[in-house]
């Protein structure tokens, strides 16, 4: 660097120091003397890099939504996503995909009225401020952020919910732009969830079907809404295209969606809005965002409803969890299908505030209260409960888990052997794989469980 340039940079740095000193002296706020002494000044916005430019030195990107992802100690680039490992067409050396951020000042002292700085394993979304001066407030998603010294994008092995981290560094005093891909849901009042229990209720048995084979094709799909439709603005309609591409040769009959804040948008993306009737659960909140749809040419609606059946536990609280149902007359067979859909509480495997036994009981109670003798019952959902968890054990005492796919499951009271196809059809941009199940209506035989 020429001597005059170095000198100019030196005077510029001194000038910046004086301004910070004058404006922030003894304030304890970012920009004050005690916030900058002994640390490198953060890069000016003009020094930040464009997409795919090397950002290993400045550790910042000009464009919203971009982060500086590390390949190794010598190279990093600005991009919206990064997949750890070797990238095709490169030098066969893997990417760490660690998110690099400019050096942060020591944790500032909160001014009166500000949220206090927090420690490890506490949500820092509001304060964006950590007690540990070496830690930063890294965001998992719009609901959770916590203080860590390093954050790697993706799913963390110790997280039971299996949800990925964006690892966006939230900084005090900086307004982080909200995604324009999906409108935020308003706060609405919801009824309380009581942790009452009782004997596991009896569930109606299927009356059986005598006649030519009749198939019912079912989809269960958690749409990962905040990321797929919020951060990534629909990801090129990837979910809609997945549903559309699997609508033949046998068309979809019933669809249960979790994390579904706008079912109409999903059906329009699949170009099925004119063929299906949609039921969006109300009141709609970020945790009761479930919706279901049935093919109009195959069914007539008899009744529908829903209620809150669970609530997240205090260690990972987002809200209350709902269940919805419909009784549908299957035109081809003359049989009634009781179709239900649920998104379970967090933490994964806990059953939420009330525990897994009571959550399972609440789900079965809704079915018992609204299904009728002879109904064929089909229950879809992301139960946020692993195989062997109390929630699934209770439900399995009355219904068969025909599609045990981790926390995503499809239960039914149909006879063993009624499932003729069970398929993972891909994720369509979600963090869950969509599940396809085809059931054949059969004679009653050993259908379901009874008391």
Residues 184-225: tens digit of each pLDDT:
677 788 999 999 999 999 999 999 999 999 999 999 999 999
Q: Where in the chain is the domain with CATH 3.60.10.10?
A: 214-441
Q: What are residue 337's DSSP bridge partners? A: 328, 376
| pLDDT at 159 > cutoff 60 | yes
Conformation bin of residue 288: beta by default, left when phi > 0, alpha when psi is -120 to 50: alpha
Dihedral of alpha carbons 71, 73, 75, 76, sign: positive
| pLDDT at 291 > cutoff 90 | yes
Alpha-carbon 379 to chain mean position:
20
pLDDT, the chain, mean: 84
Local confidence band at 104 (pLDDT 50, 70, 90 cut-offs): low
Place of tokens 């790697």: 152
Better pLDDT: 96 or 28: 96
Q: What is the largest CA-CA distance in the chain?
A: 93
Query: Of 177, 296, 181, which is closest to residue 237 (Cα–Cα)?
Result: 181
The pLDDT score that the predictor gives to residue 175 is 56
Strand pairing category for 254-258 and 214-222:
parallel
How far is it, in rounded angstroms, from Cα 277 to Cα 254? 10
The pLDDT score that the predictor gives to residue 238 is 96
CB burial readout 88-126, b (16+ within 10 A) else e: eeeeeeebbbbbbbbebbbbbeeeeebeebbeeeebbbe
Residue-wise pLDDT for 310-327, tens only, equals: 999 998 899 999 999 999
Local confidence band at 286 (pLDDT 50, 70, 90 cut-offs): very high
Burial of 43: CB neighbours in 10 Å, binned 0-12, 13-18, 19+: middle
Residues 17 and 36: beta-carbon distance below 8 Å: yes
The pLDDT score that the predictor gives to residue 231 is 86
Give the pLDDT mean for 353-360.
97
CATH superfamily of 214-441: Endonuclease/exonuclease/phosphatase (3.60.10.10)
| pLDDT at 12 > cutoff 60 | no
How far is it, in rounded angstroms, from Cα 229 to Cα 396? 33
Residue-wise pLDDT for 28-76, tens only, equals: 333 332 333 333 455 666 789 999 999 988 889 988 888 998 888 888 9
Percentage of the chain lying above the pLDDT 90 cut:
57
The pLDDT score that the predictor gives to residue 393 is 97
Better pLDDT: 150 or 392: 392
| pLDDT at 98 > cutoff 70 | yes
Percentage of the chain lying above the pLDDT 70 cut:
83
The pLDDT score that the predictor gives to residue 42 is 56
Query: Of 328, 333, 341, which is closest to residue 209 (Cα–Cα)?
Result: 333
* pTM, to two decimals: 0.64
How far is it, in rounded angstroms, from Cα 352 to Cα 34? 43
Residues 307 and 279: beta-carbon distance below 8 Å: no
Better pLDDT: 433 or 152: 433
């Amino acid at each position: 660097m020429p001597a005059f340039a170095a000198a100019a940079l030196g005077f510029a740095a001194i000038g910046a120091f004086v301004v910070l000193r004058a404006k922030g002296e003894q304030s304890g706020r970012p920009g004050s003397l005690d916030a900058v002494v002994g640390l490198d000044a953060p890069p000016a916005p003009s020094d930040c890099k464009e997409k795919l430019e090397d950002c290993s030195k400045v550790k910042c990107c000009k464009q919203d939504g971009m982060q500086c992802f590390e390949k190794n100690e010598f190279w990093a680039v600005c991009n919206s996503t990064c997949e750890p490992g070797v990238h095709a067409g490169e030098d066969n050396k893997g990417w760490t995909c660690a998110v690099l951020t400019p050096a942060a000042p020591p944790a500032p002292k909160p001014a009166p009225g500000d949220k206090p700085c927090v420690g490890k394993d506490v949500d820092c979304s509001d304060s964006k401020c950590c007690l540990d001066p070496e830690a930063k407030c890294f965001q998992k998603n719009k609901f959770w952020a916590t203080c860590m010294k390093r954050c790697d994008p993706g799913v963390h092995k110790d997280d039971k919910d299996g949800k990925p981290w964006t690892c966006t560094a939230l900084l005090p005093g900086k307004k982080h732009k909200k995604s324009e891909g999906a409108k935020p849901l308003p706060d609405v009042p919801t009824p309380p969830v009581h942790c009452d229990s009782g004997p596991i209720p009896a569930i109606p048995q299927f009356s059986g079907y005598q006649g030519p084979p009749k198939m019912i094709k079912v989809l269960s799909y958690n749409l990962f809404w905040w990321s797929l439709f919020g951060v990534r603005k629909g990801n090129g309609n990837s979910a809609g295209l997945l549903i559309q591409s699997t609508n033949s040769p046998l068309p979809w009959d019933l669809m249960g969606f979790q994390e579904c804040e706008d079912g109409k948008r999903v059906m329009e993306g699949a170009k099925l809005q004119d063929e299906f009737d949609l039921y969006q659960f109300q009141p709609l909140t970020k945790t009761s965002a479930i919706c279901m749809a049935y093919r109009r040419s195959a069914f007539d609606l008899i009744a529908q409803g829903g209620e809150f059946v669970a609530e997240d536990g205090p260690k990972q609280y987002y809200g209350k969890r709902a269940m919805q149902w419909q009784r549908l007359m299957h035109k081809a067979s003359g049989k009634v299908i009781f179709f239900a859909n649920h998104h379970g509480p967090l933490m994964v495997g806990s059953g939420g505030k009330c525990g897994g036994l009571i959550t399972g009981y609440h789900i079965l109670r809704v079915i018992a209260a609204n299904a009728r003798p002879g109904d064929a019952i089909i229950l879809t959902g992301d139960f946020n409960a692993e195989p062997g968890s109390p929630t699934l054990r209770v439900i399995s005492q009355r219904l068969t888990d025909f599609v045990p796919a981790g926390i995503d499951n499809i239960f039914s009271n149909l006879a063993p052997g009624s499932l003729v196809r069970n398929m993972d059809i891909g994720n369509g941009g979600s963090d869950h794989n969509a599940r396809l199940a085809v059931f054949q209506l059969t004679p009653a035989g050993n259908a379901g469980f009874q008391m």
